[in-house]
Amino acid sequence: MKSQAPAATRRPAIDRFLAVIEKGGNALPHPATLFALLAVVVVLLSALTAQFDLVVPHPSTGAEVRPVNLLTVSGLHRILTGLVTNFTSFAPLGVVLVALIGLGVAEHSGLIGAALRFLVLSAPRRLLTLIVVFAGVMSNMASEIGYVLLVPLAALIFQAAGRHPVLGLAAAFAGVSGGYSANLLLGTIDPLLAGLSQEAARIVDPDYTVSPAANWYFMIVSTFMVTALGTLVTEVLLARRFPDTTTRRSDEPIQPLSPAERRGLLWALAATLSLTALVLAGTVPQNGFLRDAETGDLLNSPFLKGIVALIFAFGVITGVAYGVGAGTIRNDEDVIQGMSRSMATLGGYLVLTFFAAQFVAFFNWTQLGLIFAVQGAGVLRALNLPAIPLFVAFVLLTAAANLFMGSASAKWALMAPVFVPMFMLLGYSPELTQVGYRIGDSTTNIISPMMSYFALIIALLQRYEPRARIGTLVALMLPYSITFLVGWSLLLALWLTLGLPIGPGSPLDYVPAAA
């Protein structure tokens, strides 16, 4: 009897599934290229649909809406003359640049890094996991600093405390990436998504405005939910797999805050309290100077309309206060350098935004977005789905799409022009649709190989688990992903049931102007 060669080791199912996901995601072109191709597709599609008798009534005026053919001489003229203004007037562009300039000073001065280190280093051992997850959630207001600072720092701190470093790494990653749509404060992603939602909403209602604070109430509650669920998963599910270590020594020293850094934090705290007191003085009294001058209203006030300017002011003033106290900022050149560094990281974003702006503009010009929204709303209306299953299905769709396309802004730029108008015609506000998108986008960040920092997290994990691969990290983070998805969906269902506003001046329902 011939001896058989040993069978090749069969890859685990999760690895095979993730290989498909990774291959599919890698097959997609760069997001900027994707938007350029989609802009061309929209032009061709406008010519095709214009040949058919595709007519829908405008939801507000009742007037006939037909596709506009851009593959004509007049269409070519419109494209050529609108190319620059499409980009410069793109709603998310200016607000993101302004917010990043302010937060760039806070990051360059060392304020954000020192604040995260202070928060985690001062945590009692029994509260270490909770503080790490919470710090991760809060760090996402400053973009990538949570990935490059907090995740490796949390692993070292857990190891120094006699706990397995992988627990710290997982807890921090869950907070930073899985809790991307939760925060007590507003960050750069809020005006970015709000701008895209506003552009999409104006397909139906040309005067509709979406505030950067549109989801703030929901985000605040989500912060505590994500922190609690992340802590629970870490301590109940993962701690058994990664028991405490027998030594508190770590391979890298954890640097405590220096006297200069502590002094800087005190100065930043004083600046924060002063600015907060000023904002409260302008918003709490009925005649506050940040309220509407004529009506005293807060919902349509300069406070909410100028929320991006406030993010800028808090970032610059607290960053300068920390820098002067800690000695990291000595003159105005240091401040400008911080602003410039934040701009230097935006080259790829600006290119992406240019092509996304053309796609959105072309899509709006052709009126295909409104036509698809009316047709899609008609199908959904016939299905008569209640709000909760409808939005849970939307959350799941977004979560699945996130496995193939990691960029939150790129996905929303594709999805918003269809789903925001469609749900508006069903009576749901753009702010609510944006909440559903953000839930789905956040919950699968931590298991998506397409997430931009996924490779970095694998490299960090390999320091403690040398044989770790993509499947290892996904298996580690999958309990968080599932728990966040279920918990956030239940929170959204509760919110819909209670009919609570999801942000200042952000109702759940949309009532057309003609109603």
Q: Is the pLDDT of residue 6 over 50?
A: no
Write the pLDDT tens digit of every residue in 127-177.
Answer: 889 999 998 998 877 656 678 778 888 888 888 778 899 999 999 999 998
Q: Is pLDDT above 50 for 372?
A: yes
Q: What is the mean pLDDT of residues 108-123?
A: 80
Q: Are 14 and 475 within 8 A, CB to CB?
A: yes
Examine the pLDDT at 68 and tell me if it is beyond 60. yes
Average pLDDT over residues 437-461: 85
Q: Please tell me the total number of residues recorded for the chain in this structure.
A: 515
Structure tokens at 257: 């805050």
478-513: pLDDT as tens digits: 899 999 999 999 999 999 999 999 998 898 999 876
Q: Which of 61-70, 269-278, 415-424 is modeled with the greatest confidence?
A: 269-278
Q: Return the percentage of the chain with pLDDT > 70, whole number.
A: 88
Residue 7, pLDDT > 50, answer: no
Lowest mean pLDDT among 384-398, 407-421, 473-487: 407-421
Angle at 79 between CA 76 and CA 83, to 5 degrees: 150
Per-residue pLDDT tens digits for 16-26: 665 665 566 55
CA-based nearest residue to 402, from 472, 349, 450? 450
Per-residue confidence (pLDDT) for residue 428, from 0 to 100: 95
Q: Residue 144: its pLDDT value, please?
A: 65
Q: How far apart are CA 90 and CA 352, in angstroms?
A: 12
Provide the pLDDT for residue 408.
79
Q: And the tokens for 260?
A: 């200069």
pLDDT at 248: 47
Q: Is the pLDDT of residue 460 over 50?
A: yes
User: Mean pLDDT across the stretch 383-392?
Assistant: 90
Position of tokens 């899985």? 178
Res 3 pLDDT > 50: no
pLDDT in tens, 283-322: 888 888 988 888 777 767 788 778 778 888 988 999 999 9
| Secondary structure (DSSP) of 244-266 | PPS----SSPPPPPPHHHHHHHH
Which pLDDT score is estimated for 459? 83
The pLDDT of residue 129 is: 93
CB 468 within 8 A of CB 462: yes
Of 75-89, 91-105, 399-413, where does the model show the most confidence?
75-89
Give the pLDDT mean for 259-285: 93
Containing 433, the helix (H) or strand (E) segment is helix 430-443
Could you give the angle at the alpha carbon of 412 between the alpha carbons of 230 and 228, nearest 5°? 10
Buried/exposed code over 186-213 (b: 16+ C-beta within 10 A; e: otherwise): bbbbbbbbbbbbbbbbbbbbeebbbbbb
The secondary structure of residue 142, as a DSSP letter, is: G
Angle between helices 307-326 and 189-201 (to 10 degrees): 170
Residue 514 has pLDDT above 80, yes or no: no
Q: Which of 139-153, 376-390, 408-422 has the lowest mean pLDDT?
A: 139-153
Give residue 467's pLDDT: 80
Residue 451 to residue 470: CA distance in whole angstroms? 12
d(CA 401, CA 444): 9
The lowest-confidence range among 78-82, 269-273, 357-361, 387-391 is 357-361
According to DSSP, residue 5 is labeled P
Give one DSSP letter per residue of 281-320, joined into a string: HHHSSTT-TTS-TTT--STTSHHHHTHHHHHHHHHHHHHH
Q: What is the predicted pLDDT for the residue at 502?
A: 93
How far is 84 from 363, CA to CA, in rounded Å?
Answer: 16
pTM of the full structure? 0.75
SS3 (DSSP) at 514: coil
Q: What is the mean pLDDT of the chain?
A: 84
Residues 6+ apart with CB under 8 A from 36: 355, 358, 359
Report which of 96, 203, 200, 202 is spatially closest to residue 413, judged by C-alpha positions: 200
Q: Is the pLDDT of residue 4 over 70?
A: no
Per-residue pLDDT, 251: 52
d(CA 111, CA 502): 30
Share of the chain above pLDDT 90, in %: 35
CA distance 265 to 335: 17
Q: Is the confidence at residue 5, as pLDDT, over 50? A: no
